[in-house]
Amino acid sequence: MTRVLVAVSGGIDSVVLLDRVIRNGMEVGVAHVHHGLRPESDEEYEFVRRLADKYDVPFHGKRLAFPNGGSQASYRTARYAFFEQVMQKFDYTQLMTAHHADDQLETVLIQLQRNVVEVTGIPERRPFAGGELVRPLLSEPKRELIAYAKRYGLEWREDASNATTEYLRNQVRHQIVPQLLASQPNLVQVVSETARHQRELWRTRYRQMENWIQDNVRLEMKAFHVKSDNLMCLNPVERYTVGRLLSMRYGVEVGTAIDRLLTSAQGSGHFDLEGSWGLRKQDGLLSLQATGQSLLAPHKQVVTTFPAHVVFGTSLFSLDVEDDTDGIPLEAIELPLIIRSVEAGDAMKLSIGTKKVARIFIDAKIPREKRPFVPLIVDATGRIIAIVGVRVSDFPDKSGAMCPRLMVK
Flag whether 9 is marked binding: yes
145 and 70 co-located in one domain: yes
235 and 137 co-located in one domain: no
76 and 149 co-located in one domain: yes
Flag whether 69 is marked binding: no
pLDDT tens for each residue of 333-374:
888 899 999 988 899 988 778 899 999 999 888 887 788 889
Please give the residue range of the domain that contains residue 275. 190-290
194 and 84 co-located in one domain: no
Flag whether 363 is marked binding: no
Burial class (CB in 10 A: 0-12, 13-18, 19+), 139: middle
| Angle, in degrees to the nearest 10, between helices 101-113 and 187-216 | 60
219 and 92 co-located in one domain: no
11 and 123 co-located in one domain: yes
225 and 318 co-located in one domain: no
Flag whether 13 is marked binding: yes
| Angle, in degrees to the nearest 10, between helices 41-55 and 12-23 | 10
DSSP 400: T
Separation CA 354–CA 394 (nearest Å): 10
| Angle, in degrees to the nearest 10, between helices 12-23 and 142-151 | 60
How are beta strands 353-356 and 308-312 bridged, if at all?
A: unpaired
Separation CA 322–CA 301 (nearest Å): 22
Q: Residue 320: phi, psi to the nearest 5?
A: -150, 165
pLDDT of residue 295: 47
155 and 231 co-located in one domain: no
Domain boundary among the residues 244, 267, 290 is at 290
Flag whether 14 is marked binding: yes
Strand partners, 288: 224, 279
* Residue 295 maps to a domain: no
How much is the pTM?
0.66
pLDDT tens for each residue of 116-167:
899 999 999 999 999 999 999 999 999 999 999 999 999 999 877 777 777 7
Sign of the four-CA dihedral 239, 243, 244, 246: positive
* Residue 68 maps to a domain: yes
What total number of domains does the chain contain? 3
Separation CA 150–CA 137 (nearest Å): 17
* Residue 59 maps to a domain: yes
pLDDT of residue 293: 47
